[in-house]
Amino acid sequence: MTLLLACDSNPGTDQQAAAPAVPVEPAAVATPAVAEPVASPLLPAGKSAIELSSGKVSIRANQVYELDLLNKLATEANFQLLSGDIDWKIVTIDIQDQPLHAALGELLKDYPYEIVYAPDADTQQEVLSEVVIGKLSAAEITTGKDTNTANKALLKEIEALSKDGQQLAYMQNLNNPDTEIRAMAAKKVRPIGDTFYQLTDMLVTDPSPEVRIATTWSLEMSDDSQVPAAIDALVKCLQDKDAAVVVECIRSLDFLGDETTVQYLAPMLTHADEDVRIAAADAIKSLQ
């Protein structure tokens, strides 16, 4: 029936030949619409939710005070939070299924911070134990930490000194056999003169990952004339066997801002550790 209706039923002999029929395209078959990813539902104002699973964390917050959110995360993830004098803000965020280290990096991207790893008491594996935000005094560093009496007394003595006296004490304690004291000294000492070269050596040779991480904090404060040597040491540190140390070295290279270091960061994009890969990608994006 359809074929008959589509033909000319009364062609005239004096008519020109009919133009070839234009083929009719078959009707398009509708494909099911693919649903766009739906963002996490917004929580009521002032509320937050944190979920930890298989080493990953999801964080949602709606108009929440940053420090309150960080304290809640520290409780959930079982790490110590130490904070200096920070001008905290009210934030709304949605972080989904990220490694804890990466999530902290996103939360703290506007502040100077340090993430410290230490051996777990049961497994002896390196775990995130402490997050230090801002510049702390020696007295603040001891707050809430399981430090023995002798260490606490030493830190109080250093805090009571003048600023020059404190720096001399930090220099002297770079060789302290106690890991905690040595890390504190490496973190607080000014990288000047022979101390600078001692720090670059410690970054590569110190047996404690906590101390090696602490040296990156000081090397970021290197004078312009020292930056090339600091970069050389940080590039060597990219081969560190501890992934947490490698992450902090990457962050320090990013902080120093030398775009030529991208060539050393690029191989880190295929590193076995996910946190290293994420840190490298962020640094390369920032430097290019």
Q: What is the pTM of this model?
A: 0.51
Helix (H, G, I), strand (E, B) or coil at 50: strand
Q: What is the mean pLDDT of residues 217-225?
A: 90
Q: Which of 197, 230, 199, 231 is nearest to 215 (CA)?
A: 199
Question: Could you give the CA distance from residue 129 to residue 74 in angstroms, rounded to a whole number?
Answer: 9
Residue 283 counted as domain residue: no
Residue 90 counted as domain residue: yes
Domain that holds residue 65: 43-136
Residue 157 counted as domain residue: no
pLDDT of residue 145: 45
Quick one: pLDDT band at residue 7, thresholds 50, 70, 90? very low
Q: 109: which DSSP letter? A: T
Residue 265 counted as domain residue: no
| 87-143: pLDDT as tens digits | 778 889 899 988 888 888 888 888 888 888 777 666 767 778 888 887 654 444 444
Please determine, for residue 176, whether its predicted confidence score (pLDDT) is greater than 90.
Answer: no
Residue 242 counted as domain residue: no
Q: Which residue has tokens 């410290």? A: 116
The H or E element spanning position 270 is: none
Amino acid 262 reads: V
CATH code, domain carrying 56: 3.55.50
Residue 104 counted as domain residue: yes
Residue 64 counted as domain residue: yes
| 39-72: pLDDT as tens digits | 445 678 888 899 988 878 999 988 888 888 888 8
| 229-254: pLDDT as tens digits | 999 999 999 999 999 999 999 999 99
Question: Could you give the CA distance from residue 227 to residue 219 in angstroms, rounded to a whole number?
Answer: 8
Strands in 56-65's sheet, in edge-to-edge order, are 47-53, 56-65, 90-99
Length of the chain: 288
Residue 102 counted as domain residue: yes
Task: Name the domain count of the chain.
Answer: 1
